Chain A
Amino acid sequence: MAIIQHGILEATKHTDLDLNATAEELASSAKTIYGMEIDNTNNSVDVFVKCYDTNNASPPTVGTTVPDMIIRVGAGKIRSVSSTRGTVSGGNVTPAAGFAFGTGLYMACVTAGGTAGTTGPTEDVKATVYTN
């Protein structure tokens, strides 16, 4: 069996054990998210994790600031998201992994999707985020 190695990705692991309606800064400078795992097993309702491309110079207002990524996580579920984003030209694919956040990274978790929603889940949600 041939093994093809496409590349080695070094990542920094960020763990947030109490993600809720209060936005928390995971990074104060540009970061690329390679993947994340969100644990909503302690809640009986769906939650919405929102990621904001900003830092502590201009922290987001949860419920008002437009999020740059929204991920719904089902009640009692764990949701994993990983991305390999790249470019395609003439049938050639150039991988460029991750979601690029050019300023920084704030995250929050509420019980409503879209931009609005300021109510956090009953129990905090756990998030593990892998970035550069």
Chain B
Amino acid sequence: MAVSISEFTRFAIVQEDNCLNGANMTKYAYGPCRVTAIHAWNQDAGAPGPNFLKMFDNADPTWGTTAPDFSFPIPAGDGTEYGALHLDFHDEPLVFENGLSLGADDAGGTATGTAPSANDVLVVLEILPGAS
């Protein structure tokens, strides 16, 4: 899924992606943008542990090769409830000068890990257009 945000000038955009995994990296924006809030849920239960939300300041990164600019662990669920990550950056948004792409798997760094085994990661982002 590719989303252009150039037409938005005033309001934050809330983007939802319920199919985020390593093999299907999402390219959210092709130009500068700011992320003011992140909400992510790990729908996998128990093993293999956390999945990592990896964020790239890049409109077209190569999964497993391009170094992520941010990587946050999302805890595993317990079989009944999802593990969740909530981050608020309204005071100082995360700035992505070159576009924004996301991916998730069970490895925190650059290399490819194992994609979420049973259920993809759900992400809701609040995005503002422009770098400032």
Contacts and interface: CB of A to CB of B under 8 A. Distances in A.
A70 B109 contact: yes
Interface stretch (B2-10, B13-21, B63-71): B63-71
A74 B91 CA distance: 14
Interface stretch (A9-17, A86-94, A120-128): A86-94
Nearest to A89: B81
Given A70-B108, A88-B41, A113-B68, A79 B80 contact: no
Contacts of B81: 87-89, 94
Interface string A79-116: 11111111111000010000110000000000011111
Interface string B67-95: 11111111101101111111110011011
A48 to B, nearest CB: 7
Nearest to A98: B75
Contacts of A81: 87
B84 A87 contact: yes
A116 B92 contact: no
B83 A70 contact: no
B69 A68 contact: no
B23 interface: no
Main secondary structure, interface of A, reads strand
Interface string B100-132: 000000011111000000000000000000000
A40 B99 CA distance: 23
Given A66-B108, A79-B92, A86 B84 contact: yes
A82 B85 CA distance: 10
A116 B82 contact: no
Given A78-B92, A79-B92, A82-B88, A70 B82 contact: no
A87 to B, nearest CB: 4
B68 A70 contact: yes
Contact of A83 (B57, B68, B87, B91): B87
Nearest to B91: A80
Interface in A57-81: 66-72, 74, 77-81
B89 to A, nearest CB: 8
Given A69-B73, A85-B75, A114 B109 contact: yes
Closest 10 CB pairs of A and B: A114-B67, A115-B109, A114-B110, A87-B81, A66-B109, A70-B71, A113-B67, A89-B81, A72-B69, A115-B110
